Amino acid sequence: DRLRAAPGVVGSVVAGSLVLHALGAPHELLALEGAMVLTLGCVGALTSVWKVSFHTAAACASLIILTTVQGAWFHAVLPLTALIGWSRVRLGAHTPAQGVVGAVLGGALGGVGFLLLR
């Protein structure tokens, strides 16, 4: 199911990014969208081979980007990211390794992508 849904998800994010650009959205918002497209695309490509948690990837990407923009106090919400990973394992959707890999990829790709596009 996830492989069928992924192109629609990425397509809607790309379409949203184009609309934001056309409407003159702030540059940081466009950088956020670009970082998320990068993260979704890379995690999606890996998921076609080995199931990785999109939920933990998006959570960690968001955390790193928010910390970059708002400051280090945002690290206080790190336990929420761990809680998302735990819930995915508890629901039987992922193994612990799939959650951790999603978190690491999301944080790295989202964070680096945002910094490069910012």
Domain boundaries, the chain: 2-117
pLDDT given at position 72 = 86
Using 50 as the pLDDT threshold, list the residues of the chain that sit under it: none
Which tens digits make up the pLDDT trace of 71-102?
888 888 888 989 999 999 999 999 999 999 99
Three-state secondary structure along the chain? CHHHHHHHHHHHHHHHHHHHHHCCCCHHHHHHHHHHHHHHHHHHHHHCCCCCCHHHHHHHHHHHHHHHHHCHHHHHHHHHHHHHHHHHHHCCCCCHHHHHHHHHHHHHHHHHHHHHHC
